[in-house]
Amino acid sequence: MDLRPNGPWDESEVDAATDIERLELGALRVAPAPGVDVQVQVDEASGNVSLLTFARSDGAVQVQPYAAPRSGGLWDDVRGQIKTSINQSGGLVEEADGPFGPELRAQVKSSDGAAGLQPARFAGIEGPRWFLRAVFLGAAAKPGETATALEDMVRNLVVVRGGEAMPVGAPIPLMLPQTPAAEGDAGARVPSPFERGPEITETR
């Protein structure tokens, strides 16, 4: 069964001449959407983008692309590793069918040390020699408007794998968008949020 009939897309599946304007973030091209902020987490040591997050006021999805074998099947292995990790850390997890195929629905410890468990949903999408992991948090971890909006953000992604050889499971590099000089400071919105939404937020 084709689990990508509506995206996310490989760059070979998109006609650049007719495609919509997207934010260029290295391995991912993002179609902005009103009400959704695009946040990039930058590794201080390397200066590279380590994580990309699409956020609304009540939920978010973290996405990261990886190199995968031509034969596919990486998500089967990764799912097992995530389940083991969650169980060992005192969380709860179960496997279910989701909009992108098999996914993990979990209760995990909060990253900020808060007491109790927080909902999270782990999805994996495989394309030509790439694998995209998406982690839905907050309200996006459960059915509803926020989940639908952020699932659409994931579906509208274009993955740029590149032709170079990469170890299976290696992150495909992400990078900050190039802000036009006329926009001014590095924190400028790209493009204007009044035209397309979202604000680019950089965290370190």
Q: What is the pLDDT of residue 92?
A: 93
Q: Is residue 163 part of a domain?
A: yes
Q: Is residue 169 part of a domain?
A: yes
Comparing 36 with 109, the larger pLDDT belongs to 36
The yes-or-no verdict on residue 194 having pLDDT over 60 is no
State CA 54 to chain mean position distance: 7
Q: Domain count of the chain?
A: 1
> Can you tell me the mean pLDDT for 118-143?
94
> Can you tell me the mean pLDDT for 11-25?
82
Q: Is residue 199 part of a domain?
A: no
DSSP strand E in 48-193: where? 49-56, 59-67, 92-98, 101-109, 117-127, 130-138, 158-159
Q: Is residue 202 part of a domain?
A: no
The yes-or-no verdict on residue 1 having pLDDT over 70 is no
The yes-or-no verdict on residue 134 having pLDDT over 70 is yes
Q: What is the pLDDT of residue 73?
A: 87
Of 151, 147, 126, nearest to 138 (Cα)?
147
Q: What is the pLDDT of residue 191?
A: 32
Model-wide pTM > 0.85: no
Q: Is residue 204 part of a domain?
A: no
pLDDT tens across 141-192, in order?
999 999 999 999 999 999 999 888 899 999 998 988 765 543 333 333 333 2
Q: Is residue 27 part of a domain?
A: yes
Among 5-14, 22-31, 69-78, 97-106, the minimum mean pLDDT is found in: 5-14
Q: What is the pLDDT of residue 165?
A: 86
pLDDT tens across 59-96, in order?
999 999 999 988 888 999 999 999 999 999 889 999 99
d(CA 100, CA 71): 18
Of 4, 3, 13, nearest to 160 (Cα)?
13
List the domain range (segments joined by +) for residue 113.
9-175
Q: What is the pLDDT of residue 75?
A: 92
- Give percent of the chain with pLDDT exceeding 90: 53
Of 60, 176, 172, nearest to 127 (Cα)?
172
Q: Is residue 187 part of a domain?
A: no
Q: Is residue 83 part of a domain?
A: yes
CATH classification of the domain holding 16: 3.40.1000
